[in-house]
Amino acid sequence: MAKLAVLAVLASLLAAVSCKSSLSKWSIYIGYGYPSWGPWGPPQGQGYAPRTTASTQPPPRNDLKVGYYAGKNCSNAEEIVRKAVVNATAGVQAGLIRLFFHDCFVRGCDASVLLEQTADGPRTERQGFPNQSLRGFDVIEAAKDALEKECPGVVSCADILAFAARDASSILSHGKIEYYPVPAGRYDGNVSLESDVLGKNLPPPFADLATLTQMFADKGLNQTDMVVLSGGHSIGRSHCPSIDRVQPPNSPSPSMDPALAAKLNQTCDTPDNATTTVPQDDVTENDLDIQYYKNVLSGRVLFTSDAALNSTDTRELVKRYAGDISGALEWYLYFAEAMVKMGNIGVKTGPPKGEGEIRNKCGFVNPPKAN
């Protein structure tokens, strides 16, 4: 009898979570032309219950559409990108998610982060300090080469990045983050400046909560989005010099788990410190999961910006994601939502009015057209 009662409680909890999930799943795509909401569609007439902890919905962008390339005679576009991402290592897949974040935060999601050279010269975003450790460029370029063979001049590098970040999220979370629909139709920018990066658009690892909240707000993302997206630090690696919590003036950080501090000091105290890397989450290094939030609460995170989430304003949300199955399910869902929302930042449009182009090679702007 007691067992039955427990099962009934569990069943109602899961039902409540999955109900919330399906509502969330469709609400994010309103305005993107997602065809009749496919398998994710809500039954007609079912009311929309407002959510308590979700990221706010992105303002719909009329210039982005789910399934955009099917309408451009390139229906294999997303599959071609996925093949390139599947073949990458888990570390490079993590790098692809970071690459998308660093692209979107500087001049919008326009692939400006990929440029090696522009009309302004070679001092592009790639040379900016936090970008020197980015990885995944080869995967994007391989996908672009394959796409140029299949449908030349059609798929933008900015969209390849958005697809690749989605694919990597789905793979590294072992499908817990769904293969979510990505609105596409972005054009590639042709300006990329090293001076735009450091301290201007990308938050530094020593940022406090107020700075992080403001820097995300400047991009149209709220504090919940920031907390949700920071879960990206449950995968990938960091170079020792980035770990501000074990360096003066922050060291020893009183809120860092002493065992982790000792381990980091030992690993990073080497002559080749600059090239030494450590996992961001040393419990489940290659799983995009909610372990990050447990690490925030137990002081096992690398940066001040991670530890800042254990502040009064955000602690409850962190506890929720770290807590039980319903919090975890919510995070997997909202991570996808927040990635879609991040993908709206500063989108470029194409000719005749827009300033964007479809690059031939992701590392270089197109040569000027001959008259």
Chain positions contacting ligand HEM, by CB under 6 A: 91, 94-95, 97-98, 101, 133, 135, 203-205, 207, 212, 229-230, 232-233, 235-239, 242, 280, 303, 305
Give whichever of 232 and 299 is closer to ligand HEM, judged by the CB atom.
232
Residue pair 320/263 in contact (Cβ under 8 Å)? The answer is no
- As measured in angstroms, the least distance from the Cβ of 325 to ligand HEM is 23
Instruction: Give the C-alpha distances (Å, rounded to integers) separating 202 from 130, 216, 224.
Output: 8, 9, 18
Distances from the Cα of 365 to the Cα of 95, 115, 192, 241, 359, angstroms: 23, 7, 10, 32, 6
| Dihedral class, residue 155 (left if φ above 0, else alpha if ψ from -120 to 50, else beta) | beta
Shorter beta-carbon distance to ligand HEM: residue 159 or 225: 225
Q: Assess whether 233 carries a catalytic annotation.
A: no
Mapped onto helix, strand or coil, the DSSP state of residue 277 is strand
Q: What share of the chain is helix, strand, coil (3-state, %, to 5)?
A: 55, 5, 40
Nearest alpha-carbon partner for 131 in 154, 105, 160, 155: 105
Rank residues 65 and 176 by Cβ distance to ligand HEM and give the closer one: 176
Q: How far is the CB of 19 from ligand HEM (least distance, A)?
A: 27
Question: Looking at beta carbons, which residue is closest to ligand HEM?
Answer: 236
Question: Which of residues 156 and 305 has its CB atom nearest to ligand HEM in the complex?
Answer: 305
- In the complex, minimum distance from the CB of residue 101 to ligand HEM, in angstroms, rounded to a whole number: 4
Give CA–CA dist 213/125, Å, rounded: 23
**Residue 226 Cβ, how far from ligand HEM at the closest point, in Å?**
6
- Which of 102, 174, 233, 239 is catalytic? The answer is 102
- Catalytic residue numbers? 102
